């Protein structure tokens, strides 16, 4: 009996040791991948950031930004502050540059319904809810109370504008139910966008769009796959990209059979500094992204260290989502020019 007890004791200790070593390995490898603070980068970021909590100032945006025909914001889905950021950017660009066409990660059927809502005589909440629930099929983490609130705010904002500046939506995504695609989703997006621009005769207009992170990258991370932003550039559209990363934030993760989800569908362990999503160079930003803030960082100012770095575009996912690594002989600025850190963002709220 003593031998059996001793055997199980050794087994238990061995299992515990393996678990402890695994945790230690993950912790150390996470720290190594993200890296410590680098004075070359922190000295640069100190002079190239601005808070955007309630209103967007244009101090960090340069001529290259304003001269872009398409400006894109890319998010990791599930964080409430990105809806606020999207709304504020749309208003800012409308006021500053007359941008009135919003490119959306939805199909043309739902963008048509959304335009009916935005240009209707009254706020048709049933129609808006129909659109928001349809979004759930393509992007479950975006369909939310905050998404409805954002479009209600755009409706209100439209009421303050003359007709020539009112905001309309261009849906460029594929129909979720279309399973017979022979080209990639991003390739379909550029075809749909170009066809709509030609159909509406708006080739000289400027555009702003809000997408998932991958779609706004201006260079592919895989040789055989081009993101929407790269397709835009290749088609002659001058494009600027902004990416948003969360710190100390909660993500809305709807119940699904693939991953364990808490009862309240909120998780706090998918942030840019780990433990399950790792973004190289994120520690350089922490002193400047204060608690409960949305902070914009300009990455492409003169003598920027990001022109020869792979920080922010080297991303490792330990649970779900894609890992990214820059292709050979490319650097951060080949992929995007601005970054936003949302700190202490709440999770999106599911519609009841």
Predicted local distance difference test score (pLDDT) of residue 25: 43
Predicted local distance difference test score (pLDDT) of residue 21: 52
Predicted local distance difference test score (pLDDT) of residue 12: 61
Predicted local distance difference test score (pLDDT) of residue 122: 94
The rounded mean pLDDT for the chain is 90
Predicted local distance difference test score (pLDDT) of residue 194: 97
Domain extent listing, the chain: 1-34, 37-343
Predicted local distance difference test score (pLDDT) of residue 90: 97
Residues 79 and 204: their CA atoms lie apart, in Å, by 33
Low-confidence residues of the chain, pLDDT below 70? Answer: 1-32, 176-181, 258, 318-321
Residue 108: phi and psi, rounded to 5, are: -65, -30
Predicted local distance difference test score (pLDDT) of residue 223: 73
Query: Which CATH number, 3.40.50.300, 3.40.50.11550, 3.30.565.10, 3.20.20.140, labels domain 37-343?
Result: 3.40.50.11550
Residue with tokens 């202490």: 344
Predicted local distance difference test score (pLDDT) of residue 11: 55
* Beta-carbon count within 10 A of 286 CB: 16
Assess whether the previous peptide bond of 66 is cis (omega < 30° from 0): no
Tokens of 47: 């002079």
Closest CA to 103 of 205, 211, 247: 211
Are 174 and 138 in contact by the 8 Å Cβ rule? The answer is no
């Amino acid at each position: 009996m003593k031998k059996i007890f001793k055997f199980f004791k050794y087994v238990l200790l061995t299992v515990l040791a393996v678990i402890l070593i695994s945790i230690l390995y993950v912790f150390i490898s996470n720290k190594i991948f993200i890296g410590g603070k680098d004075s070359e980068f922190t000295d640069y970021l100190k002079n190239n950031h601005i808070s955007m909590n309630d209103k967007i100032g244009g101090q960090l945006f340069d001529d290259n930004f304003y001269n872009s025909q398409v400006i894109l914001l890319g998010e990791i889905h599930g964080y409430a502050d990105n809806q606020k950021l999207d709304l504020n950017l749309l208003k800012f660009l409308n006021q500053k540059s007359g941008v009135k066409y919003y490119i959306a990660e939805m199909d043309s059927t739902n963008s048509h319904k959304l335009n009916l809502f935005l240009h209707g005589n009254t706020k048709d909440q049933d129609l808006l809810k129909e659109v928001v629930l349809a979004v759930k099929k393509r992007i479950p983490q975006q369909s939310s109370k905050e998404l409805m609130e954002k479009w209600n705010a755009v409706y209100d904002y439209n009421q303050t504008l003359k007709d020539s500046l009112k905001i309309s939506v261009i849906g460029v995504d594929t129909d979720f139910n279309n399973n017979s695609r022979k080209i990639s989703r991003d390739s379909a997006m550029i075809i749909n966008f170009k066809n709509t621009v030609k159909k509406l005769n708006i080739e000289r207009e400027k555009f702003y769009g809000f997408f998932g992170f991958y779609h706004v990258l201006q260079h592919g991370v895989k040789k055989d796959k081009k993101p929407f932003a790269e397709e835009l550039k290749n088609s002659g559209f001058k494009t600027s990209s902004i990416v948003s990363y969360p710190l100390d934030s909660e993500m809305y993760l709807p119940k699904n059979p693939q991953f364990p989800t808490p009862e309240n569908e909120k998780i706090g362990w998918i942030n840019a500094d780990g433990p399950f999503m790792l973004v190289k160079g994120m520690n350089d930003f922490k002193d400047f992204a204060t608690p409960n803030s949305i902070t914009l960082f300009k990455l492409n100012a003169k003598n920027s260290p990001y022109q020869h770095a792979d920080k922010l575009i080297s991303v490792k996912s330990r649970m779900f989502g894609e890992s990214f690594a820059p292709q050979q002989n490319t650097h951060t600025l080949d992929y995007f020019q601005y970054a936003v850190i949302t700190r202490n963002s709440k999770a999106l709220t599911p519609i009841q």
